[in-house]
Amino acid sequence: MKKTISISLLLIAFTGCINASSNKINTFDYKTDLGQNIHYTILENTQDQIISFNKNKLKNEYGYQDITIITCDKIIRNLAGKINYGYGALCEAKEKDKQIKIKVCENQAFAYKIEKLESNETVTLESLAKFTSNYCYGG
C-alpha cells in the first residue's frame, strides 16, 4: 500500500512539472536612447504589484497620497544586476472622487513615479518601458 501512494504522489508531482513548464512567459527588449538594451517581462499576476505600488506611494514625498491604484492592465518588470527589479504599469486609479489613468513605476531602491495620462493618451509597451527605464530602472 505504501508503494502505491508513493507512486501516485510522484506521478502527480511529475504532471505538475510538465504543466508548469508549458506556461509561456511574455518578454520583450527595449533599447534606450543611449543604446542600452533592457529586457522586460510582462507579468500576469498583478494584484501583488498593485499592493506594493499603493504601499510604497505612502513613503514617497511627491504628493501621491491622494491617488489609490485600483487595477492595472499592463505590468512590466526589468532586472538590473542580479537581484534588483524595476516595475512599471499602466493603471486605473482613484484621485479623491475621480477615476484617472496613470503610468506608475517603482524599484527596490525606493524610486517611485506616477504620471497622470491625458484622456486620449495611448500607452504602448515601448512607451511604458521608456517611462520605467527613465524613472525606476531596477535599483
Of 85, 82, 77, nearest to 26 by C-alpha is: 77
Cell 512607451 belongs to: 127
CA dihedral of 95, 76, 128, 70, whole degrees rounded to 10 = -10
Q: Is residue 105 within 8 Å of residue 132, measured between CB atoms?
A: yes
pLDDT in the model for residue 60: 63
In the predicted structure, residue 43 carries a pLDDT above the cut 70: yes
Reported as a single tens digit per residue, the pLDDT across 27-38 is 999 998 889 899
In this prediction, residues 35-49 reach a mean pLDDT of 88
Reported as a single tens digit per residue, the pLDDT across 58-98 is 666 666 778 899 999 889 999 877 778 899 999 999 988 89
In the predicted structure, residue 20 carries a pLDDT above the cut 60: no
Q: Give the whole-angstrom CA distance, residue 33 versus residue 52.
A: 29
pLDDT in the model for residue 19: 33
Q: Residue ranges per domain, the chain?
A: 25-136
pLDDT in the model for residue 129: 94
Higher per-residue pLDDT: 7 or 94: 94
Q: Which residues contact 126 (CB under 8 A, 6 or more apart)?
A: 30
* 101: amino acid identity, one letter: K
Cell 506521478 belongs to: 11
Cell 505612502 belongs to: 58
Regarding pTM above 0.85, the answer is: no
User: Which of 12-26, 36-50, 74-88 is the least confident region?
Assistant: 12-26
Instruction: Say if residue 129 is exposed, middle or buried (CB neighbours under 10 Å; 0-12, 13-18, 19+).
Output: buried
pLDDT in the model for residue 109: 73
